[in-house]
Amino acid sequence: MTDQYAVVGNPIEHSKSPLIHAAFAAATGQDLEYAKICAPLDDFAGCVEGFRLMGGKGLNVTVPFKLEAFRLATKLTERARSAEAVNTLKFDGDEILGDNTDGEGLVQDILGGCDFTIEGRRVLVLGAGGATQGILLPLIAQRPAALMVVNRTAAKADALKAHVVDHFAIDTGGFEAIEGREFDLVINATSASLSATALPIAQDNFASGSLAYDLAYGNEETVFMRQARVCGAAQVADGLGMLVGQAAESFYLWRGVRPQTAAVIEQLRQQQS
């Protein structure tokens, strides 16, 4: 019997997840079907329960339901607890396992897609919202030499320390705190690229050979990528590889098979052009 999976959100028509998982299934020989579900804004839990009772094996969760998925899960992975948000649900009997694969998707794209090593590097994350909270633990697992999170409101960045206190001593502050400081990897986790807004970063923030990575992606380079290139970043990347990488991590959680991502990323790139 063909196993059923889906992505749930509202809105959902824009989601690339069905294409990505269909490609993964074809490449790995897995017998599954993957659909889109537009859940009512006031009944996410009922939608999930209905899918599970019909035999569904797992769900990807997108906006605006990641916090509800976190609360719905009966068991959480460590990275989901740290993120306080869930983007992947796996059903096993009465158990609902909640995971957050975003950070691992980012890390794998940086290591593989960008051929960039995080271990021993100085890492700067711009922004202190939910996206940053979701990627901190996987970044820390790579053992950077230093990790700093800055935000326009410094107190919001400072609050993230509680989520990683047992794992790593991160440095936090406002954007003024990075003046004159140099980093090997600069990650934009703000929404600035979505509004085409420049960020207060400077040439001296980018070390020789540095990588600038934007969690956002689109048909063209983001404002942050262009800004980082002008500031001297040796390499820039957008978040399309992270999107495919987090899907691959979900697929592995569900199926026990880790799909390759390069061909799928290239397929999506060609569709964008």
Per-residue confidence (pLDDT) for residue 227, from 0 to 100: 96
Lowest-pLDDT choice from 78-82, 163-167, 188-192: 163-167
8 confidence band (pLDDT: 50, 70, 90): very high
Region 114-118: mean pLDDT is 98
Amino acid 193: pLDDT: 87
The per-residue pLDDT of the chain, averaged, comes to: 96
Average pLDDT over residues 139-162: 95
Q: Which CATH class is domain 103-238?
A: alpha beta
Query: Which is it for the CA torsion 154, 159, 160, 164, positive or negative?
Result: positive
Cβ distance 60 to 7 under 8 Å? Answer: yes
Contacts of 223 (CB under 8 A, 6+ apart): 192, 193, 196, 197, 198
Cβ neighbours of residue 206 closer than 8 Å, sequence gap 6 or more: 182, 183, 186, 212, 228, 231, 232, 233, 234
Q: Give the confidence band of 200 by pLDDT, cuts at 50, 70, 90.
A: very high
Q: Which residues pair with 131 in a beta bridge?
A: none
Region 233-237: mean pLDDT is 98
| Per-residue confidence (pLDDT) for residue 4, from 0 to 100 | 98
Q: How confident is the model at residue 196 (pLDDT cuts 50, 70, 90)?
A: confident
pLDDT over 80 at 178, yes or no? yes
**pLDDT exceeds 70 at position 273:** no
The yes-or-no verdict on residue 269 having pLDDT over 80 is: yes
Q: Which residues are catalytic?
A: 66
CB 96 within 8 A of CB 74: yes
Q: What is the pLDDT of residue 70?
A: 98
**What is the share, in percent, of the chain residues with pLDDT greater than 70?**
100
Kindly state the tokens that stand for 212: 């600038």
pLDDT at 166 over 90: no
Residues of the chain with CATH 3.40.50.720: 103-238
* Average pLDDT score over residue span 19-24: 98
Q: What is the mean pLDDT of residues 106-114?
A: 97
State what percent of residues in the chain have pLDDT above 90: 92
What are the pLDDT digits (tens) for 52-67? 999 999 999 999 999 9
**Highest CATH level, class, for 3-100+241-272:** alpha beta
Alpha-carbon gap, residue 91 to 181, rounded angstroms: 46
pLDDT on residue 236: 98
Q: What confidence tens digit (pLDDT) does each residue in 80-91 have?
A: 999 999 999 999
Domain with CATH 3.40.50.10860 in the chain: 3-100+241-272
- What is the model's pLDDT at position 168? 86
